[in-house]
Structure 1
Amino acid sequence: MLTAIILTGLLAQTAPGPAPVPAEARAVIHTDRGDIALTLDAARAPVTSCNFLRYVEAGRYRDARFFRTVVASTNANPHPIDVIQAETTGGSDDPGFGPIALERTRDTGLSHLAGTISMARGGPDSATSSFFIVTQDTPALDFGGGRNADGQGFAAFGRVTSGLDIARAIQASPAEAEQLTPPVKIGSVEMIGQAPAVCRS
């Protein structure tokens, strides 16, 4: 009898429970230059990560494009940056699902290191659908950085896990006045696995 109780207790301890819901999400940007794989930090930047995934799931990045490149070494701005920027078929000002709150790097603990994915914006709380990838460490994009006059920075929300070389090749492509000529086509952005729980509440 005692043996049966012990065995039952051991089985209860080792019985598999439900699989943990990830706090990160994975996605792949399929471009005509190759794939760029991403991990999104929904734990630290849930608003921005879930917003991006909402566009992915709605297919709003299908037939999108990287249209802009900024190279620090040739950038006249006193706070130069190294980025490539993408837009939907509705353009870089596509209102999409409406503006989201700005998750400042001061609050998330993230920063614009090489490979970071972040959201384009005008004023605070104005980002919608356009995102960019940082190709070199660019602290001017963080909270308190000088790239935006308001000093609030941009909302970093993930990182490139493979394909940074592709992003850098896109950045080095021919351009006129920061506009890629021609733009680099994004066939689609695909989410890998399930969305984090915070994006499903």
Structure 2
Amino acid sequence: MSASAPTRVEVETELGSFTLAVDEANAPISAGNFLAYVDGGHLDGSAVYRIVTMHNQPPETPHKIEVIQWGWRLIDGTEPPFPPIPHEPTSQTGLRHLDGTLSMARRAPGTAGPGFFICRGDQPELDEGGGRNPDRAGFAAFGQLVSGRQTIENLFARATSKEYLDTPIQIVRVARLG
């Protein structure tokens, strides 16, 4: 594999597996953070804990999205194994939130770290300048779904009337391929 080829990572969930191509060339900070969680085994036994659909967002939400959020959960006041990372906006990386994009979950710019999401459908409102967050800084896209679309659909089928799942869906293992 050449140095510019994306790193492939397999995510095994209780509903099946999917494979992601991680773009270290265009989004080195976000990709490096994700791969540190993968390589350290910090995502093994984690969970899909949020599924956002067009139907479970408040009706007044102006910029609705559809995403699966997953990763290391901040529970019981425990700190994640790594500090938050600087924000890599889509204007810097050239990446966009298209169908199957892997991106960093965050509250404010510079708070991303242990949470990730996958877009279902194109989500331009998540790019820098998009209206999903009032700060308009967008989210840091850093990878793409390359196989396992059926697993993503199986996960979406488990959405409830609330974004955050009462019973998270287990992620069994996350590992680099090759």
* Paired residue total: 175
The C-alpha deviation readout for 1:76-116, integer Å capped at 9, x for no partner, is 2210000010132544x853300101110011111100100
Flag the structure with more relative contact order, 1 or 2, with Cα contacts below 8 A and sequence separation at least 6. Answer: 2
- Which protein has the bigger helix share? 1
Distance in 1 of aligned mates of 2:24 and 2:12? 21
- Asked whether the 8 Å contact 1:94–1:129 carries over to 2, the reply is no
**What is the TM-score normalised by the length of structure 2?**
0.91
1:132 paired with 2:114, answer no
State which of 111, 119, 142 in structure 1 corresponds to 2:127: 142
| Consecutive unaligned residues in structure 2, runs of 5 or more | none
State which of 2, 5, 17 in structure 2 corresponds to 1:35: 17
SS at match of 1:62: coil
The amino acid that maps onto 1:107 is Q
- Residue number in structure 1 paired with 2:42: 60
**Alpha-carbon deviation of 1:74?**
4.2
- Residue number in structure 2 paired with 1:119: 104
| Consecutive unaligned residues in structure 1, runs of 5 or more | 1-18, 194-201
What value does the CA root-mean-square deviation take over the aligned residues? 1.9
**Alpha-carbon deviation of 1:177?**
1.9
Structure 1 residues 163 and 20: alpha-carbon distance in aligned structure 2, compared to 1, 3 A threshold: closer
Asked which structure has the greater CA Rg, the reply is 1
The amino acid that maps onto 1:192 is L
- Asked whether the 8 Å contact 1:101–1:124 carries over to 2, the reply is yes
- Residue number in structure 1 paired with 2:53: 71
**What is the TM-score normalised by the length of structure 1?**
0.81
Distance in 2 of aligned mates of 1:51 and 1:174? 27
Distance in 1 of aligned mates of 2:138 and 2:79? 21
Q: Percent identity?
A: 40
Structure 1 residues 72 and 164: alpha-carbon distance in aligned structure 2, compared to 1, 3 A threshold: same
**Alpha-carbon deviation of 1:192?**
1.2
Structure 1 residues 108 and 33: alpha-carbon distance in aligned structure 2, compared to 1, 3 A threshold: same
State which of 44, 69, 83 in structure 1 corresponds to 2:26: 44
